Amino acid sequence: MDDLSLKDVARRALGLVDLTNLNDDCTEADITTLTGRAVTPHGSVAAICIWPRFVAQGVRELAGTGVKVATVVNFPAGGTETSAVVAETRQAIADGADEIDLVMPYRAFMEGRKGFAEEQIIRVKEAIPAPAKLKVILETGEIKDPLLIHLASEIAIGAGADFIKTSTGKVPVNATLEAAEIMLTAIEEERRDHGRNVGFKPAGGIKTAEDAAAYLALADKIMGHNWVSATTFRFGASGLLDALIAELEGKTVHAGEGY
């Protein structure tokens, strides 16, 4: 890919980033640093994605910017205490969260408890009033089996997910193009069969403009060239933004470590 087209990718991708800090040692000062990076000379990211305890701070610091505040629930383990997850969700919404990234109870799902996983997603969705959005994290690197990844995508979509997301970024295998293809195919099937548009979010390990280009090309191939926008596609990343800005400014950067 030549420099011009990578620059075009960077321009396209910057507004699709969910700028993320889900480090275990994250502090209020780190959140202020994150919110300060969310609006760049080249445009704003789509959202920040942070721990629930920082939502009110993020909302306050991003007021008037148009940048959404996303947070995570049932994260990262994808446990099975649905009532606790619903309570966590309600508190995040009360604190001002625009988007909830829910870890599907993927271990229960893999053990054959598909109805349990579905019910948890349904109950969390019920706790999220419009226009707030629900993204469901499948943890595809743990599910592994392509047929099960497709089934998990179908279950999450059927239970009301506004987006389906690959990964928490906290396991050995996170976003992959193979999982993305399966998930985007399920999204296309939902659009074809029911006319409903569900979004897609690859997360974990996406660090360069070249990485972003590969996922965007896959989405264009499966969903069509006019489908990708911040309402349908996000990158969950911490280091990607710096790489995109460097590309736009003609600089070289080593993409940051992390989510």
Active-site residue identified among 95, 98, 101, 162: 101
Angle between helices 146-158 and 114-126 (to 10 degrees): 40
* Angle at 157 (CA atoms; ends 154, 162), nearest 5 degrees: 155
* Angle at 162 (CA atoms; ends 159, 164), nearest 5 degrees: 85
- Report the C-alpha gap between 112 and 102 in whole angstroms: 19
Active-site residue identified among 165, 207, 211, 242: 165
Q: Judge whether 101 counts as a catalytic residue.
A: yes
Gyration radius (Cα) of the chain, Å:
17
Active-site residue identified among 68, 133, 135, 201: 201
Beta-carbon neighbour count of residue 51 at 10 Å?
17
The structure tokens 């979509």 sit at 157
Query: Which residue numbers are catalytic?
Result: 101, 165, 201
